[in-house]
Structure 1
Amino acid sequence: MIKSGCLRIGILGILFCFASPAFTQESTPVLQTIGQEPYSYLVDDNRYEGYHYEIANSILKQAGYKVTAEPPPLKRLIHNLKEGHSDCILAANSPFARKHFIAVEEIGHNLQVGILPREGINPSEYEDLQGLAIAVPQGMTIGEPFDSDTSLIKVSTPDYNQSSLMLKHNRIDAIMGALESIRFSAYKVLPNEQPRYGTPLIIQSLPVALICNKDKIDTEIVKRLKTATQELKANGTIEKIISNFFANLFAS
C-alpha cells in the first residue's frame, strides 16, 4: 500500500516519482521516460520497449528500488518535472533542461539532431542544404539556424513515418529531426526495403542524462540513482543496452 503524497522530480526524455511506502519512511522513486519511439513505446497492451525505458529500469534496479519507469508523452513529461509532480527523467541535456532542471549524471550517449539526406547527398556544411527538399515532421524543431531559416525548401509532413516513405520514393531529399528516430521509423515502415542514406549534417549533439527537479529533490534518492548510473556506465551495461537495441537499425 502506498501513502498519498509523492515527492517528485523529472526532463526531456526520462522521469521518476518517489512515493512513501506505508511501512517505511524511505522514499521510493518513480522514473519517467519520454513516451516516444525509440525511447519508450508500447508494443502490446501492457508491455513497453525502448532503450531509454530499459536503461531507466536498469538504473532503478541497480539503485535497489523495486519500481519501474513510466513513459508519459513529452509535453506531460516536462510539465510533471517542472511542476514537481515527478522526480527525475532520462532525457537530452538541452539548453532548456539546463535552465530549468539539474543534470545529475550523463549516461555516456549523445542524442544527435540534424538533417539526414538520401544516398548520394553528403552535406558537409550548413550552406549545402540550399536547394534540397527537406521533410519537417509536424511539431519538430532542431534549433537554429534551421528552425527560422526561410531560405530552405521545407516540406511539412505528419510524422517520421511519412517522411521515410517520401524519402524512399525520392519525393524529398532529406529529413530533419533526431537521427535515431528517423532511422527507427524507416525500420518500422520499410522493414524489407530500408532507405539508404548519405552523410548526415549534425545541428546539435546533446548528451542524454538523468535529469531532476533542482527545487524539489530527495538528496538520498538522487545520490543512489547517480551512483547506480555511474556503475552501469563503468561495467558496460548502458553501452550494451544501446548497441543491442540499434544493432539491426543502422546497417545502411
Structure 2
Amino acid sequence: MLEIKKIGILLATALCFALPAHAKKVFRVLMEDNWPPYAYVKDGQPAGLSIDLVKAAMRLEGAEVQIQQVPYLRCMALTEPEGKEVACANTAKNEELAAKYVFPNNYLFRSRGLIVANKRYVKEALKKPKKISDLEYKTVALPSGFTFGPEFDDNTRIVRYYTVNDMTALRLVESGRVKFAAIDEMVLYYYLNHHPELKDALTTVIDLSNEPIYMQLSKTQPEAIELREKFERGMAALKASPEYDALLQKYLGKGIPVDKFK
C-alpha cells in the first residue's frame, strides 16, 4: 500500500511539472478577410496590420488571440447584441454603431478615406468635384457597411452603390459604370501597387475625414469585459513602445509617414 501511495505522489508531481503554471488565456477575435493591408489572407493564413496589432497588444497582457476571418458584414453581425462572438476588428465609430457595440478607448490606428474618380470623367466634366457636397445626386461605389465620417455618411443626397469589397468598387470606376468610389487611403495604395493598370484609370479627387479604426466588442458576451480590459492595457503599452511604429511602417511602406495613422 505504501508503494502505491509513493507512485501516486510521483505521478502527481510529474503532472504538475508537465502542465504550464500559467496557461495563457486565448480570445477569439473576428476580422474580415479582404481589406489589405489591414486584414487579408496570405498563403492561406491571416495577415495584415490589424491582426498584428491585436496580437501584439494581447501578448503584452500575457494572452493569445485566435483570429477567425469572415466577410465584414458577417463579422459585424456576429458581434451584435444577438450574436455569439466577442469581438470584431476594423470598424470606425459612429452613433449608430456605438448603440450596438462597445468601443475601447484605445483604437488600432487612424484611417483616412478618399474619393477616387474615373480619370476620363474628371477630364471631361465641366465642374471638377472638390468637396463632399459636389457628390450629391452622383453615384459613389463603396463596400457595404463601411463608414467614411459624418459629413459623407449623413449626406443622404449622395447615391450609394454598395459592393462586396473595395476592388469591385475600383473596377466599377475603372470601367466607367460608376464615376466615383469611396476607399481607405492605404487600401487604395495597396491595390494600385498590385494592379498598376488602375493608375491609368483612377485619380483622387476628395480627401475625406481621418477616422480612428477600432476593435469593437459585444455588449452581451461576458468574456468581452475581460478582453476589453486586457486590450486597453496592452494597446496603451504597445503604442508607447517602438514596436507600434515598426508595425505601422511594415505595412504602410518605408516612404509613408506613420504619424497621421497613429
TM tier, smaller: 0.5 to 0.7
Give the secondary structure class of the aligned counterpart of 1:100: coil
**Cα distance in 1, alignment partners of residues 24 and 238 from structure 2:** 23
Higher helix share: 2
**Structure 1 CA distance, aligned partners of 2:250 and 2:175?**
29
- Structure 1 gaps of 5+ residues are 1-22
Name the residue aligned to 2:62.
64
**Using the alignment, how far apart are the partners of 2:105 and 2:179 within structure 1?**
37
Aligned residue in 1 for 2:46: 48
> For residues 131 and 65 of structure 2, what CA distance do their matches in structure 1 show?
45
Which residue in 2 is equivalent to 1:231?
A: 237
Deviation at 1:232, TM superposition (A): 0.8
Counterpart residue type for residue 243 of structure 1: Q
Verify: 1:242 aligned to 2:248, yes or no: yes
What is aligned with 1:215? 220
Instruction: Name 1:149's counterpart in structure 2.
Output: 157
Q: CA deviation at 1:220?
A: 3.8
Partner of 2:186: 180
Is the CA contact 1:160–1:185 (under 8 Å) kept in the aligned structure 2? no
Query: Could you tell me which amino acid in structure 1 is paired with residue 240 of structure 2?
Result: A
Asked if 1:91 corresponds to 2:97, the answer is: no
Match of 1:110 in 2: 110
**Partner SS for 2:77:** helix
| CA-atom RMSD in angstroms | 3.8
Quote the Cα distance in structure 1 between the aligned partners of 2:88 and 2:146: 20
Q: If the length of structure 1 is used for normalisation, what is the TM-score?
A: 0.68
**Tell me, which stretches of 5 or more residues in structure 2 are unaligned?**
1-20, 258-262
8 A contact 1:116–1:179 mirrored in 2: no
Query: Could you tell me how far 1:213 is from its partner in structure 2?
Result: 1.7
Counterpart of 2:70 in structure 1: which amino acid? P
Q: Is the 8 A contact 2:140 2:182 kept in 1?
A: yes
User: 2-side partners of 1:221 and 1:127: how far apart?
Assistant: 40
CA distance in 2, matches of 1:27, 1:84: 22
108-117 vs 232-241, which moves further: 108-117
How many corresponding residue pairs? 223
The amino acid of 1:149's aligned partner reads R
Contact 1:183/1:250 (<8 A) preserved: no
Measured against aligned partners, the alpha-carbon deviations of 1:161-197 in whole angstroms (never above 9, x if no partner) come to 3543565577765322334333333333x24763563
* TM-score scaled by length of structure 2: 0.66
CA-CA distance at 1:36 after TM superposition: 2.2
Q: Flag the structure with larger Rg.
A: 2
Tell me the distance in 1 between the aligned counterparts of 2:255 and 2:40.
16
Partners of 2:84 and 2:165 in 1: how far apart? 29
Residue pair 2:102, 2:216 contacting (<8 A) in 1 also: yes
Displacement after TM superposition at 1:91 (Å): 2.6
Moved more, 238-247 or 227-236: 238-247
Note the alpha carbon deviations across 1:183-230, whole angstroms, 9 max, x for none.
333333x2476356334231x543112322233334444322210011
Question: How many angstroms apart in 1 are the aligned matches of 2:255 and 2:169?
Answer: 17
- For 1:37, the aligned partner's letter is W
Q: Secondary structure at the match of 2:193?
A: helix
Stretch deviating more after TM superposition (218-227 or 113-122): 113-122
